[in-house]
Amino acid sequence: MRLLIATHNPGKLREYSDLLTDFETDVVGLHDIGLSHLEVDETGDSFHANALLKATTYARASGCITIADDSGLEVDALGGAPGIYSARYGGEGLDDAGRRAYLLAQMADVPDEARTARFICVIALYHPLTGAHATCTGVCEGRILRAESDGSGGFGYDKLFVPNGFSESFAQMSAEQKHRISHRGQAMRGVSAALATLLGR
């Protein structure tokens, strides 16, 4: 079975490849099947809506059962921002480091006890032949640091986020440790049952 991971983010593709090692599937990315040029406007008003929109669009374009996610960081002191706009926070043209710097600047006056946040991930699966679909959700609660941590793991806001019960940021954790507790790891644990449902097993 060929399974398309519909993301342009190499960090996400790497994480999914790690998380799907136990599945008997041929995991491919957009570039592997000539769809790296296809962009989907994320016009949904929630992580769930955007994930399903992406999964549906890429599945129909590729003919493959497709996994797509929408994920992001919600910061309580910022009213839930950046939320569904996490990948575009601070405006167009910023890279990951620029978005982290912008977030820290927005939170400069927020005291430690109010720096609560969470990562949310909604994974959508779509079968292009039957139209069957499913979604899985994961949430990881934590807090935002006052400065970037060291560590070379992860991507995005990982250098700023420490999950509850830990002293290390996501960027400082091993991939295995992060997958056990992360929002994406949690959501992925529902994917096996969702795939079985899509395949009528």
Q: Tally the domains of the chain.
A: 1
What pTM does this model have? 0.88
Judge whether 171 and 159 are in contact, CB under 8 Å: yes
CATH code of the domain containing 103 = 3.90.950.10
Which residues make beta-bridge pairs with 136? 123
Decide if 95 is catalytic.
Answer: no
Q: Which of 70, 76, 96, 112 is catalytic?
A: 70
Give, as one character, the DSSP assignment of residue 50: H
pLDDT of residue 201: 66
* Residue that is written with structure tokens 């999914």 in the block: 16
**Residue 72 parent element (H or E):** strand 65-75
Contacts (Cβ under 8 Å, ≥6 apart) of 62: 4, 33, 35, 128
In terms of Cα–Cα distance, which of 141, 144, 124, 122 is closest to 133? Answer: 124
Domain of 173? 2-198
pLDDT tens-place values along the chain, 201 residues long: 788 999 888 877 887 777 777 667 788 899 999 999 998 988 999 999 999 999 999 999 999 999 999 999 999 999 999 999 999 999 988 999 999 999 999 999 999 999 999 999 999 999 999 999 999 999 999 999 999 999 888 889 999 999 999 999 999 999 889 989 999 889 988 887 787 777 776
